[in-house]
Amino acid sequence: MSVAQPQQPMGSALNPVGEHLRVVPRRSSVVSRFADFSFQGLVWLSAACVLAIVAFILMQLIKGSSLSLHQFGWKFFTGSDWDPVNGNFGSVPFVYGTLVSSLVALVIAVPLSLGVAIFITEMCPRSLRGILSYLTELLAAIPSVIYGMWAIFVLIPLLRRYIGPALAKTFGWTGLFTGPIYGGGMLTAGIILAIMLVPIISSITREVLTAVPHQQREAALALGATRWEMIRVGVLRNARAGIFGAIILGLGRALGETMAVTMVIGNRPKITKSLFAPAYTMASVIANEFSEATDDLYLSSLIEIGLALFIVTIIVNILAQFLIWSVTRGTPRRANV
Partner 1 sequence: MSEATPQIQWHRRVADKLATALAVICVLLVILPLAAVFIYLVIRGVGSLNLAFFTHIPSGSPGEPGGGMANAIIGSVVILLIGSVIGVPLGVGSGIYLSEYSRGQFGKVVRFTADVLNGVPSIVIGIAVYGLLVLRQKHFSALAGGVALGIMMIPTITRSTEEMLRLVPNSIREAALGLGIPQWRSTLSITLRTAMSGVITGVMLAFARVSGETAPLLFTALGNSYWSTKLNQPIAALPLQIYVYALSPYDEWHRLAWAGALVLIVIIVATSASVRWVASRGFAGGAQ
User: Which residues, numbered 98-127, are part of the site for partner 1 (CB under 8 A)?
Assistant: 111-116, 118-120, 123
Per CB under 8 A, which region of 77-85, 167-175, 227-235, 272-280 contacts partner 1? 227-235
Question: Which of the residues 59 through 88 are near partner 1 (CB under 8 A)?
Answer: 60-61, 63-64
Q: Does 335 bind partner 1 (CB under 8 A)?
A: no
Report in angstroms how near the CB of residue 253 gets to partner 1 at its nearest: 8
Build a one-symbol-per-residue string for 274-293: x at contacts with partner 1 by CB under 8 A, - elsewhere: ---------x--xx--xx--
Report in angstroms how near the CB of residue 157 gets to partner 1 at its nearest: 12
Per CB under 8 A, which region of 47-55, 86-94, 163-171, 173-181 contacts partner 1? 47-55
Q: How far is CA 156 from CA 29, 183, 232, in A?
A: 69, 5, 37
Per CB under 8 A, which region of 75-83, 172-180, 208-216, 300-308 contacts partner 1? 300-308
Q: Does 233 bind partner 1 (CB under 8 A)?
A: yes
Per CB under 8 A, which region of 71-79, 130-138, 161-169, 172-180 contacts partner 1? 130-138
Non-local (6+) Cβ contacts of 101 within 8 A are: 186, 189, 190, 193, 254, 261, 265, 279, 281
Give 100 or 263: the residue with its C-beta nearer to partner 1.
263
DSSP codes, 46-110: HHHHHHHHHHHHHHHHHHHHHHHHHHHGGGGGT---EETTTTEE--HHHHHHHHHHHHHHHHHHH
Report in angstroms how near the CB of residue 179 gets to partner 1 at its nearest: 24
Report in angstroms how near the CB of residue 270 gets to partner 1 at its nearest: 21
Rounded to 10°, the helix 296-328/186-211 angle is 30
Q: Is 20 exposed, middle or buried (0-12, 13-18, 19+ CB in 10 A)?
A: exposed
Report in angstroms how near the CB of residue 174 gets to partner 1 at its nearest: 22
Question: Which of the residues 145 through 174 are near partner 1 (CB under 8 A)?
Answer: 145-150, 152-154
Question: Which of the residues 234 through 273 are near partner 1 (CB under 8 A)?
Answer: 249, 252-253, 255-259, 263
Q: How far is CA 24 from CA 10, 12, 19, in A?
A: 20, 20, 9
Four-point Cα dihedral 19, 21, 25, 27, nearest 10: 30
Build a one-symbol-per-residue string for 187-226: x at contacts with partner 1 by CB under 8 A, - elsewhere: --------x--x---x--------------------xxxx
Q: Does 21 bind partner 1 (CB under 8 A)?
A: yes
Number of neighbouring beta carbons within 10 Å of residue 27: 11
DSSP codes, 92-146: HHHHHHHHHHHHHHHHHHHHHHHHHHHIIIIIS-HHHHHHHHHHHHHHHHS-HHH
Per CB under 8 A, which region of 11-19, 83-91, 205-213, 271-279 contacts partner 1? 11-19
Q: Does 314 bind partner 1 (CB under 8 A)?
A: yes
Task: Please give the Cα distance from 74 to 89 (Å, whole number).
Answer: 11
Per CB under 8 A, which region of 41-49, 89-97, 163-171, 172-180 contacts partner 1? 41-49
Handedness of CA 71, 73, 98, 248 (dihedral sign): positive
- Please select the residue that binds partner 1; options are 86, 126, 127, 141, rule is CB under 8 A: 141
SS3 266: strand
Number of neighbouring beta carbons within 10 Å of residue 318: 12
Task: Please give the Cα distance from 196 to 201 (Å, whole number).
Answer: 9
Report in angstroms how near the CB of residue 107 gets to partner 1 at its nearest: 14
Q: Does 56 bind partner 1 (CB under 8 A)?
A: yes
